[in-house]
Amino acid sequence: MSDSTSAAVHKSPWTALLRWLRSLKGLFTAILLILTAPAAHHAGWMLVLPGLASAILVAMLLDAPLIRWRDGEWSVPDGALLTGMLVGVVLSPHATWWVAAGTAALAIAAKHALRVKRANVLNPAAAGLVVSYYLFDSGQNWWGALPDLPPVWMLLLGSTAAFMAWRLHKLPLVLALLGVHFVLATSATYVVDPVRLAELYRAPDLQMVLFFAGFMATDPPTSPPKAGDQVTYGAIAAATGFGLYIAIGAVYFLLGGLLVANLWEGWRKWKRAGSARAARVTSAAAPRTEAALR
């Protein structure tokens, strides 16, 4: 082997890593690490690491063979890495490691259970966290959104969330979601106890909605690509989530609203897929009809 070939072989893992870091999943992972590091330092690494690590590990171990079965080849489950990270930073760090692991398993199951074409319908982390709330009575405090740090840290949270939304071409979605959320929260003060609604403008709820809008609602496989559809999607998620907050006050109200928006987008995809199949059948039948008429 020549020196140049040997050097290329030694550089290839780093080249692959750099290429992955420039991808959307790599960029998202890096941003989540930037947010998680100060949050974990403040909360205590020994407290948050068991749940975070178990969620990531279980998600990746379960997703890898399912992807192999679906696609016919092995690949790095970097989507599951992100799912595990999101589960870990939303769950309370006081939750046991097995609750975090179980929540991640539920998230991966939701990812593969309901699909349209090759895309999952439900946001995996959101689905896993909602089911976990009822199955494990799990707490959620969104510690990864930096709610316990001084308010100045919201600059980091807001700027990274906005950058990720811009990079994913989802700014209309984020603006619609936040706009509807805060318009409803302000307008409802005329009919609902203002003290209760004021919580939405304070920590941890304020940081929670910023993190949610920038990093979860913008999930590419489960959210629409076109700006007009994104506005509708964001409005559905925000309005449904606010309705859940008023009706039952559950900690997962934002996640529940997102799952309803996921189902709306999945229904749209299913309709488009059905229309495309019908068009192909009609197109294929046309030559046979013409031949029969000759």
- Please check whether residue 4 lies inside any domain of the structure: no
In angstroms, the Cα distances linking 138 to 95, 142, 168 are 7, 12, 31
Region 93-109: mean pLDDT is: 98
The rounded distance, in Å, linking the Cα atoms of 113 and 122 is: 9
Contact criterion met (CB below 8 Å) for 29 and 85:
yes
Cα 108 from Cα 249, distance rounded (Å): 26
What's the structural domain count of the chain? 1
The CA dihedral of 59, 130, 269, 167, to the nearest 10 degrees, is -70
Contacting residues for 91 by C-beta, under 8 A, at least 6 apart: 51, 55, 99, 100, 103, 129, 132, 138, 139, 140, 141
Distance CA 119, CA 222 (A): 7
Question: Is 12 contained in some domain?
Answer: no
pLDDT in tens, 55-99: 999 999 999 999 999 899 999 999 999 999 999 999 999 999 999
Give the model's confidence band at 283: pLDDT under 50 very low, under 70 low, under 90 confident, else very high: low
Residue 285: per-residue pLDDT:
59
* For range 258-281, the mean pLDDT: 87
pLDDT number for residue 151 = 94
Distances (CA, A) of 49 to 27, 133, 147, 166: 22, 20, 18, 30
Dihedral through CA 156, CA 23, CA 92, CA 221, nearest 10? 120
Query: What CA–CA distance (Å, rounded) separates 137 from 103?
Result: 11
pLDDT at 268 over 90: yes
CA–CA distance from 78 to each of 57, 81, 117 (Å)?
Answer: 11, 5, 20
State which residues form the domain around 234.
18-293
pTM for the whole structure = 0.91
Say what the pLDDT of residue 262 is. 98
Could you tell me if residue 130 is inside a domain? yes
| Distance between CA atoms of residues 52 and 38, nearest Å | 14
Q: How far is it, in rounded angstroms, from Cα 227 to Cα 266?
A: 17
Within a domain: 77: yes
Torsion of CA 170, 173, 175, 181, to 10 degrees: -150
Judge whether 142 lies within some domain. yes
Q: Which residue has the tokens 């959210």?
A: 223
Residue 144 DSSP symbol: G
Strand, coil or helix: 7:
helix
3, part of any domain: no
**Average pLDDT of the chain to the nearest whole number:** 92
Question: How many helices (H) and strands (E) are present in the chain, helices listed first?
Answer: 12, 2
The verdict on residue 31 lying in a domain is yes
For the segment 172-214, what is each residue's pLDDT rounded down to a tens digit? Answer: 999 999 999 999 999 999 999 999 999 999 999 999 999 999 9
Q: Tell me if 196 is assigned to some domain.
A: yes
pLDDT in tens, 133-147: 999 999 999 999 999
178-203 as b/e, with b when 16 or more CB fall inside 10 Å?
bebbbebbeebeeeeeeeebeebeeb
Unique residue bearing structure tokens 């609750």: 99
pLDDT digits (tens, 9 = 90+) for 119-171: 999 999 999 999 999 999 999 999 999 999 999 999 999 999 999 999 999 99
Q: What is the pLDDT of residue 130?
A: 98
DSSP state of 140: B
Going by the DSSP 8-state scheme, the letter that residue 119 receives in this structure is E
